[in-house]
Structure 1
Amino acid sequence: MHRRLRKKKTKIRRRKRKSQAMNPSPLSPPWVDLPSDVTANILQRLDVVEILQTAQKVCTTWWKVCKDPSMWKVIDMRDSLPDFNIEIMCREAVDRSQGQLTDINIGYFGTDELILYISERCSGLKSLTLKLCCDVSSYALREAVRNFPKLEELHLLFHCIGAEDVENIGTSCPQLKSFTLNAAGTNYPGLGHDDSWALAVSKSMLNLHHLCLLGHNMTSEGLEAILDGCPHLQSLDIRRCFSIDLNKGNLGKRCSERIKDLKFPHDAIDDCNKIASEFVHCYNYYDSEFSNYSDSDLFGNYEDYSEGDYEDYTDLFADDFLASFLPGGHQYI
């Protein structure tokens, strides 16, 4: 009896070996055996949408790497087309960082809820960029930066905030070294002179190394205040600040001697026009397209955002406002 069982088991083992020899297991893809840090370096070259929609689904190894908080220390969504899921995807990326987020760049789709969501979870943030995020109010931004005491860079591209908000930002972020406030519409003929933004910077942002105040109505006195209040300033962008007279006293000489990288009021603004053109393209896309994927498929635990949340989107950008950014239109910037 025992001999028969042994013979039977031997035959089974031989058949298995023969079957394995005839049908070898498929080789694992070569990228599976890469070190995790190398894999992360490769995947970080993709944008957030590509990672969440596609890359993480390739294999188990990539899934694990894409869930690692170190993958999400930097989140760059400056060129993400706005649709009904993009804010949800941004929140997912923020959550995956588990508080390790240091640098985030948001274009077009930012909202009050999103910026406050980030501030509640990522107090170690060092760099924040908002590009044409017209749904982020001054109040939400002011509240958010209170939770960013380590913030070193803040760039607001075509974002309107008041001088009091600028001063509050400087007070809340004492380590701020780089600040950008590109205005839309502040330097339009007939609006008069206004040094309030410049004075707010000079009072509250004493450690600045880089400053861009493009398109503001500050005067030579405002610029003098900035030079007095920001002794560490190395680069200064005052393009479209036409109320500044650099020939007044020794202001021009002082700027040239103090500032290593100086952009003058009449210097070209091609880079700003490029941003505005991108916005018009993005706006047209948003107006004509709908999302091709489901919220529940990607992030079932997150609240769905309906079309009603965006019903007033087009009212924010009237034709005359858009025309100000287009070639041949009124150059507000």
Structure 2
Amino acid sequence: MPSWLELPTDLTKNIFQRLDTVDIVISVRNVCRLWWNICKDPLMWRTIRMGNIQIIHMKLFTFCCLEKIFRCAINKSCGHVEDIDVELIVTNDVLEYMAYRASHLRRLRLYCCDDISDRRLYEFVKKFSLLEELDISFSFKQYQDFIEVIGQCCPLLKSLNLERLMFLYFKSYDEVFAIAKWLPGLRHLKLSRIVVGNVGLLAILDGCPLLESLDIRQCHRIYLSESLEKRCHEQIKDFQLPTSLVDDDSYYADDYDGDDGLTYKNPTITYCGDEWKSKGSSTVKLRWLSLKSTKF
């Protein structure tokens, strides 16, 4: 069999970049002098992947060790890292460390990093102004303020995946309204365990006219009329709905009114044509056409 050492250097780098960062740091680079030198190249660390931590690594490493491995990879990139995919281990301190050393970041995935506070998340995401793809999953956070921050600070963002790891029964469409208002340039959007509803879906269709794909298979409160479903498929190339459109929970029973695709309501908001109204409150929502200048 031919020796691995005889492979062209570029091909060896290509293979290494497909491996998990933990394996590269603790194993691959220690195999021989050639591989050690290859792993010294900052461009080798443009992608940092530390996924499936809870399955693969937790029996071998403590959180402290995994955090040190992550910081080591960030350092070796020398600011060239463009893609970070990490689970569990990112805290406020780690996020700060990353923010000052990854100014060229274009893709970021944070999964189940619930030790990050809202304030620090808002503060440091401002430093990732080149972001094009963002994928974040938290258990309990409300995302509307975060969406406003990335809408103001990440003008190149084209792909967004927002996931709440646990479904919380918020009777609010604030998050989808924020997406429609602050992220008009989105091409790809995936929402999981986020309250969308028909009012939210209409807001997204109006506020994000460039959308090519919309995945709301893990969302609730969706009762599509024939006309609304037709518009979704005409406007969006790849449109994916929940398997069951009608939720069994009677908690949602007051969200639908009529079958004409025009009127949908919950206890706080009613959408009729192009006008939003607040129910049981002195606050009157402005017309949807002025959404971009109005914060809900």
Task: Give the TM-score of the pair, scaled to structure 1.
Answer: 0.66
Aligned position for 1:141: 121
AA in 1 matched with 2:40: K
- Shift of residue 180 of structure 1? 0.9
Q: Distance in 2 between matches of 1:181 and 1:155?
A: 6
Instruction: Tell me if 1:73 matches 2:46.
Output: yes
Aligned position for 2:184: 206
CA contact (8 A) 1:101 1:124 kept: yes
Unpaired runs of 5+ residues, structure 2, are 246-296
Instruction: Tell me if 1:122 matches 2:102.
Output: yes
CA contact (8 A) 1:194 1:219 kept: no
Aligned position for 1:96: 76
Q: Distance in 2 between matches of 1:172 and 1:186?
A: 28
Q: 1:71 to 1:258 in 2, by over 3 A?
A: same
AA in 1 matched with 2:87: G
Instruction: Tell me if 1:151 matches 2:128.
Output: no
Aligned position for 2:201: 223
Task: Give the alignment of 1:1-333 within 5 angstroms.
Answer: 30-80=3-53, 81-82=57-58, 83=62, 84-159=64-139, 160-188=141-169, 191=170, 193-247=171-225, 250-266=227-243
CA contact (8 A) 1:116 1:143 kept: no
Q: Distance in 2 between matches of 1:256 and 1:101?
A: 37
Identical residues among aligned pairs (%): 40
Q: Distance in 1 between matches of 2:199 and 2:136?
A: 24
- Shift of residue 222 of structure 1? 1.5
Say which structure, 1 or 2, has more relative contact order (CA 8 Å, 6+ apart): 1
Post-superposition CA distance 1:288-311 (Å, at most 9, x none): xxxxxxxxxxxxxxxxxxxxxxxx
Unpaired runs of 5+ residues, structure 1, are 1-28, 269-333
Q: Distance in 2 between matches of 1:51 and 1:162?
A: 34
Task: Give the TM-score of the pair, scaled to structure 2.
Answer: 0.74
Post-superposition CA distance 1:112-137 (Å, at most 9, x none): 11122111111110000011111122
Instruction: Determine which structure has the larger strand proportion and give its number.
Output: 2
Q: What SS does the corresponding residue of 2:85 show, helix, strand or coil?
A: strand
Q: 1:213 to 1:66 in 2, by over 3 A?
A: same
Q: What SS does the corresponding residue of 2:192 show, helix, strand or coil?
A: coil
AA in 2 matched with 1:166: I
Q: What SS does the corresponding residue of 1:244 show, helix, strand or coil?
A: coil
The total of aligned residue pairs comes to 236
Q: 1:157 to 1:128 in 2, by over 3 A?
A: same
Instruction: Determine which structure has the larger helix proportion and give its number.
Output: 1
AA in 2 matched with 1:95: N
Q: Distance in 1 between matches of 2:115 and 2:95?
A: 10
Structure 1 or 2, whichever has the larger Rg, is: 1
Q: Distance in 2 between matches of 1:55 and 1:97?
A: 16
Q: 1:87 to 1:161 in 2, by over 3 A?
A: farther
AA in 2 matched with 1:226: I
Q: Distance in 1 between matches of 2:244 and 2:78?
A: 43
CA contact (8 A) 1:48 1:77 kept: yes
